[in-house]
Amino acid sequence: MEDAGKGNKIGTEIMVGGIRFSSNVLMAPLAGYTCFPFRLMAERLGAGSAYTEMVSSDALKYNDNATAKLLYTDDREKLKCVQLLGSIPAVFERAAKSERLEKFDVIDINMGCPVPNVVKAGEGSALLEDLPRASKIIEACKRSGKVVSVKCRIGMNRQRIVIEEFARMCEWSGADMITVHGRTRDMMYDGAPLYEFIKKAKDSVKIPVFANGGIDSKEAAALMMEKTGADGIMLARYGFENPLLFSELTGREIRDTKYSLLMEQLEIASECFDELFVLSYIKKLASYFMKKLPGTKQYKLDLYRCGSIAELRGILQAIFAREGT
């Protein structure tokens, strides 16, 4: 089989498990951020896919409002991708085959979250050191008939880097794609990505390997592709801070400003969710967008004091329209 990453360029289409991704620039799952409106925006700006926030595989058995919001989607979202967290293969299989995930095309398995309470539960990064269990989870999800991807880190620390063996296990177990965050678990979200270990993963398997970690510009994206030979890249917090980066990377011509994007997000969120959720989400998104604006301290105070959507509209206009951003 020909190396899937040979000659790959940023922004090109890619096939994963029989599904065509419109570009090889993806948006990572971000807890508290990658809700339905954001995923729609990322897709419109050029993302090949955007994953839901992390969903507990066990929580899917409960018909609660919190999980329903995480899984909200409709026909406007062309490629529907969900990320599941857990540690029990049978629970993953039940979730993957459940009616609540029927609309989703891709199941991503979280094997990289470094947060202490997740790791202590044997989930996320903990699975890097339990390959037999990780393999059974992948096989369980594949029995749903859906495309399955895995998001992982390179190891727990510099002394316990396992990515080559782990990547091969993912492929043998039936995973259609791997996304490698080029940091160890103990690095959390700091430090330069360790490109050489993403490359080792890429060289170990024939399924597509995406690279993740510290991609905040076209230059960083190009460097990541050059250093790793990856089939594509996945943006995380920088995709949320500046979604226009998707259009820059994919060459999609758009005329949006951060203000117009916020107004669009406000409209879509208001269609789908209650006012409390809308206020919380738009405030978080606006806070990221205003990071480099002058006078942000006072802006944020005004933003977080507002208590209605009408008031929020006025504050956003004052902040962003005046700055021309």
163-173 vs 131-142: helix crossing angle, rounded to 10: 30
Both tokens assigned to 73: 């989607």
Q: Do the beta carbons of residue 85 and residue 55 sit within 8 Å? A: yes
Q: What 3-state class would DSSP assign to 125?
A: helix
Q: Which residues of 291-311 are buried (b: 16+ CB within 10 A; e: fewer)?
A: eeeeeeeebeeebeebeeeee
Question: How far is the first Cα of the chain from the last one, in angstroms, to the nearest whole number?
Answer: 47
Q: Do the beta carbons of residue 5 and residue 230 sit within 8 Å? A: yes
Question: Which residue out of 35, 81, 113, 152 is catalytically annotated?
Answer: 113
Does residue 113 carry a catalytic annotation?
Answer: yes
Both tokens assigned to 261: 């994007």
Q: How far apart are CA 284 and CA 282, in angstroms?
A: 5
Long-range contacts for 61-69 (Cβ within 8 Å, ≥24 apart)? 61/94, 61/95, 67/100, 69/35, 69/273, 69/277
Catalytic residues: 113
